[in-house]
Amino acid sequence: MTMDYTVIRSARRTMALEVTREAQVLVRAPHRASAAEIERFVAAHRDWIETHLVRRQTYLEQHPPLTDAEIAALRAKAKSYLPGRVAYWAERMGVKPTGLHITSARTRFGSCSGKNSLSFSLYLMRYPAEAIDYVVVHELSHIRHKNHSPAFYAEVARYMPDYKTHQAMLRP
């Protein structure tokens, strides 16, 4: 059985595999790698590729792409819901964010800038309220700790002792 994949050549020394968000297989290879070497590399990693392709295809079937109307609805929900949650938790935590933005980021639910401005993905609205609150507390904790150190997670746990349960809700 042959496997479809795309080869991307660059000035690298080793070969690497990637299963993209769209369930496509990419092989990153050095310029000097022959087609036979690449084929052997793919064959040697066939089980890994198939496992990850099935996982990604299953995810895509369970999460079809959103329409423009659905995205607009999520954005509206985020704009109405998140400011209240941020205000609630900021007051409890004694921190003051400098701004709040809604983005369409797909790989990051939230972020905190160096100037303490918070950004949240509209896709966060697809998750339970507890998971949303975890992301809010997580980002507000970055106002005090600009990293993911033990002190940062102690800050998160101080306000949300069961944060790991809520964090797990965000995993696909």
CATH code for position 92? 3.30.2010.10
Read off the pLDDT of residues 47-75 as tens digits, 9 standing for 90 and up. Answer: 999 999 999 999 888 888 899 999 999 99
Give the residue carrying structure tokens 């959103």: 66
pTM of the model: 0.77
Residues 41 and 110 in one domain: no
Confidence of residue 156 (pLDDT cuts 50, 70, 90): very high
Percentage of residues in the chain with pLDDT exceeding 90?
91
The pLDDT score that the predictor gives to residue 95 is 97
DSSP 97: -
Residue 16 covered by a domain: yes
Among residues 46, 62, 78, the one where a domain terminates is 62
Q: How many domains is the chain built from?
A: 2
Confidence of residue 172 (pLDDT cuts 50, 70, 90): low
Read off the pLDDT of residues 75-131 as tens digits, 9 standing for 90 and up. Answer: 999 999 999 999 999 999 999 999 999 999 988 999 999 999 999 999 999 999 999
The pLDDT score that the predictor gives to residue 1 is 54
Query: Nearest Cα to 94, choosing from 133, 135, 137?
Result: 137
Among residues 62, 80, 100, the one where a domain terminates is 62
Residue 111 covered by a domain: yes
The pLDDT score that the predictor gives to residue 41 is 97
Q: What mean pLDDT is reported for the chain?
A: 95
The pLDDT score that the predictor gives to residue 21 is 87
Environment class of 111 (CB within 10 Å of its CB; exposed 0-12, middle 13-18, buried 19+):
middle
Residues 75 and 28 in one domain: no
The pLDDT score that the predictor gives to residue 64 is 85
Residue 1 covered by a domain: no
Residue 31 covered by a domain: yes
CB count within 10 Å of CB 45 equals 17
Structural domain containing residue 34: 6-62
Sign of CA pseudo-dihedral 24, 29, 34, 36: negative
Residues 58 and 73 in one domain: no
Residues 24 and 72 in one domain: no
Q: Which two tokens stand for residue 103?
A: 């983005």
